[in-house]
């Protein structure tokens, strides 16, 4: 054996364990702070992200013409019902062109789809802040924790990842 003294072996093992333990104690850092916004809902009221601080917010960027967005809506309705009392707020941010899909059209769509969460109209600032010049895919959902930090970004129709992400943040 290379080390004749067992105490040297234990010292080396202890040293490596200490490095591993100290190296693994780094806390998981929160994501970036979600950019605040000021958007109008379908009744003309101004909604900000800041007004929901202390709640978990799911921002759903979507459009009426998008089949995966339409597939996601029933799941979002169920999630809103399930977690509302635990502090979940879902905000649907429509990227529909207001000249083609009016607020009246969106209200009708909301009623027919039985959407139980607010629908907001996008603006260029919110698109720039959240997508940073990247090509926008819909649906795209951002999970924002109670402290206003982005915890997850989910692109496309992805029920399981969305449910897991929300369950982790709702704890």
Q: pLDDT tens digits for 123-142?
A: 999 999 999 988 999 999 99
Confidence check: pLDDT of 111 > 70: yes
pLDDT of residue 5: 57
CB count, 10 Å around CB of 80?
A: 16
Confidence check: pLDDT of 169 > 70: yes
Between 15 and 82, name the one with better pLDDT.
82
Range list of H helices, the chain: 6-23, 67-83, 103-113, 124-131, 159-170
pLDDT of residue 96: 98
- pTM score, whole prediction: 0.82
Class of CATH domain 38-170: alpha beta
pLDDT of residue 31: 84
pLDDT of residue 1: 46
Active site residues: 66, 69
Confidence check: pLDDT of 66 > 50: yes
For residue 26 the two structure tokens come to 């780094």
Pairing outcome for strands 88-94 and 119-121: parallel
Question: Token pair 């992200």 is at which residue?
Answer: 49
Between 54 and 22, name the one with better pLDDT.
54
Q: How much is the average pLDDT of 138-156?
A: 97
* Mean pLDDT estimate for the chain: 87
Note the pLDDT tens digit of each residue in 6-47.
555 445 444 443 333 333 333 334 689 999 999 999 999 999
| Ramachandran category for residue 149: left, alpha or beta (phi over 0 → left; psi -120 to 50 → alpha) | beta
- Each domain of the chain, given as residue ranges in start order, spans 38-170
Range list of H helices, 24-158: 67-83, 103-113, 124-131
């Amino acid at each position: 054996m290379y080390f004749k003294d067992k105490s040297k072996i234990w010292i080396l093992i202890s040293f490596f364990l200490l490095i591993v333990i100290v190296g693994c104690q780094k806390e998981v850092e929160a994501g970036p702070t979600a950019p605040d916004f000021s958007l109008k809902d379908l009744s003309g009221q101004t909604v900000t992200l800041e007004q929901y601080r202390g709640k978990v917010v799911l921002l759903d960027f979507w459009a009426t013409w998008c089949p995966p967005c339409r597939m996601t809506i029933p799941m979002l309705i169920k999630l809103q019902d399930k977690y509302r009392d635990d502090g979940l707020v879902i905000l649907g941010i429509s990227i529909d062109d207001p000249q083609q899909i009016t607020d009246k059209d969106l209200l009708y769509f909301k009623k027919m789809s039985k959407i139980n969460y607010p629908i907001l109209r996008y603006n260029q600032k919110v698109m720039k802040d959240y997508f940073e010049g990247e090509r926008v895919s819909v649906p795209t959902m951002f999970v924002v924790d109670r402290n206003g930090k982005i915890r997850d970004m989910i692109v496309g129709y992805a029920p399981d990842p969305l449910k897991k992400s929300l369950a982790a943040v709702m704890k």
